[in-house]
Amino acid sequence: MSNQRQQKPTLTGQRFKTRKRDEKERFDPSQFQESIIQGLNQTGTDLEAVAKFLDASGAKLDYRRYAETLFDILVAGGMLAPGGTLSEDVTPTEFCLFKAQEDIETMQAYAQVFNKLIRRYKYLEKGFEEEIKKLLLFLKGFTESERNKLAMLTGILLANGNLSASILSSLFNENLVKEGVSACFAVKLFKSWLSEKDISSVATSLRKVGMDNRLMELFPANKRSCEHFSKYFTDAGLKEISDFARNQQSIGARKELQKELQEQMARGDPLKDIIAYVREEMKKNNISEQTMIGLIWLSVMSSVEWNKKEELVTEQAIKLLKQYSPLLKAFTSQGLSELTLLLKIQEYCYDNIHFMKAFQKIVVLLYKADVLSEEAILKWYNEGHVTKGKSVFLEQMKKFVEWLKNAEEVSSVLEIRVCIM
């Protein structure tokens, strides 16, 4: 017998067991489409039943994988081909948004269906926004009635917070803008939105995503003016949107103006040239003197780097304001403008703690330079001031105000004596 152990036979090759999760399932939206369409055909026009069907189907069907198909069916009745035409793979359902009645009540009911679905399956939120962006790009492929329904639904969903206003970027597509589709769609959308929320809510949503300054892009470049925009939306019964756009343009113009003012001051441009530029911009952008004096004050105070020491900052401010007092004087021709300037000075000195003790000296300087009148100062002191630093600044101004009142009384006595003589 051999002492060596007998070698056991070994199998060549290896078998790997494939995990189920590693198997790639074939993307086949057709079967998913058939299941959804069949369910919608059974529920019919009962939108409560539709919502329940969609809620239950999410447990059996892969909504995450076929989100685009799901939303295509709910909106258009079937899968959409590029451009917005219905795919011919299957007979579309008649029970969808595009086949519904064209009225706000029906659209509100459909909005509830989408709201319930997305609240139940949160992962559909992003896919739904992408779907709406896509549908907006397909607008030319839809009928006028279909576009109207989509606009109303989108407005309601924006009002309810189911969509971000960033989806409006699709309306700036060149082809849609050129043919007037974007502006027409926007009218319906904003009417629907404003039927649910007020203009301040709409404005907040637009500002949140930077859409507040882009509404002019709904029109071709040759019609992209505030006048055209205002007339178009006012004629459509949307004066709130027209006024909002005008206000936004004015804010934009003021920001640009302030930036240019600061650059002119940094270059040391002559004051007469700066004054001429400001007057021209006021006329061009319809900016009031009260608004302008506030911009000039901020521009002047932003034109230097301030000393950090409180005892030196007052001296620095007086020197700067002496230099620019002719500029301030040019735009305080009205009592209301003077009061506006006083309030701006009060707010600035309060917000910048190093200037708290400088308030009285600044006001006296501007009084001596004929920028501020005694009437404006007394009005500010008696009733026109704001609460910011009120007690500190009123105390600082007390002696000067008393002097003004005494001077006024002496002047009145002298005038009476002259009249008697």
pLDDT level of residue 419 (50, 70, 90 thresholds) = very low
Q: Which residues pair with 86 in a beta bridge?
A: 80
Q: Which long-range contacts (CB under 8 A, 24 or more apart) does 298-307 make?
A: 298/258, 298/344, 298/348, 299/258, 299/261, 299/262, 299/265, 300/265, 300/324, 300/327, 300/328, 301/348, 302/262, 303/262, 303/265, 303/266, 306/352, 306/354, 307/354
Q: What mean pLDDT is predicted for residues 184-202?
A: 96
Query: Of 147, 172, 206, which residue sits at a domain end?
Result: 206
Residue 173 and residue 69 share a domain: yes
pLDDT at 372 over 90: yes
pLDDT at 204 over 70: yes
Residues making up the chain, counted from first to last: 421
pLDDT at 5 over 80: no
What is the model's pLDDT at position 413? 41
% pLDDT > 90, the chain:
74
23 burial via Cβ count (<10 Å: 0-12, 13-18, 19+) = exposed
Among 296-305, 339-348, 360-369, 411-420, which stretch is predicted with the lowest mean pLDDT? 411-420
Inter-CA distances, 390 with 256, 300, 381, Å: 32, 24, 10
Query: Of 138, 173, 206, which residue sits at a domain end?
Result: 206
What is the model's pLDDT at position 79? 93
Q: What is the mean pLDDT of the chain?
A: 89
Q: Is residue 174 part of a domain?
A: yes
Q: Is residue 220 part of a domain?
A: no
- CA 392 to chain CA centroid, Å, is 37
Residue 293 and residue 200 share a domain: no
Residue 301 and residue 160 share a domain: no
What is the model's pLDDT at position 416? 32
Total of domains in the chain: 2
What is the model's pLDDT at position 253? 82
Instruction: Give me the torsion for CA of 101, 104, 108, 111, rounded to 10°.
Output: 70
**Whether 371 contacts 335, CB under 8 Å:** no
**Whether 209 contacts 163, CB under 8 Å:** no
Residue 143 and residue 33 share a domain: yes
Q: Which residues pair with 80 in a beta bridge?
A: 86
Query: Of 156, 189, 206, which residue sits at a domain end?
Result: 206
Nearest to 36 by CA among 5, 62, 17, 10: 62
Please report which residue ranges of 161-285 form alpha helices under DSSP H.
174-178, 181-196, 199-208, 226-235, 239-267, 271-285
Among 83-87, 161-165, 246-250, 372-376, which stretch is predicted with the lowest mean pLDDT? 246-250
Residue 394 maps to which CATH number? 1.25.40.180
Residue 170 and residue 296 share a domain: no
Q: Is residue 96 part of a domain?
A: yes
pTM comes to 0.69
Q: Which domain holds residue 384?
A: 287-419
DSSP designation for 353: G
Q: How far apart are CA 171 and CA 153, in angstroms?
A: 15
- Sign of the Cα torsion 95, 100, 106, 112 reads positive
What is the model's pLDDT at position 13? 52
What is the model's pLDDT at position 22? 44
Q: Is residue 242 part of a domain?
A: no
pLDDT at 20 over 60: no
- DSSP percent split of the chain into helix, strand, coil, nearest 5: 70, 0, 30
pLDDT level of residue 346 (50, 70, 90 thresholds) = very high
Rg of the Cα atoms in the chain: 34
% pLDDT > 70, the chain:
90
pLDDT level of residue 220 (50, 70, 90 thresholds) = very high
Q: How far apart are CA 196 and CA 89, in angstroms?
A: 38
208-244 burial: b if 16+ Cβ within 10 Å, else e: eeebbeebbbbbeeeeeebeebbebbeebebebbbeb
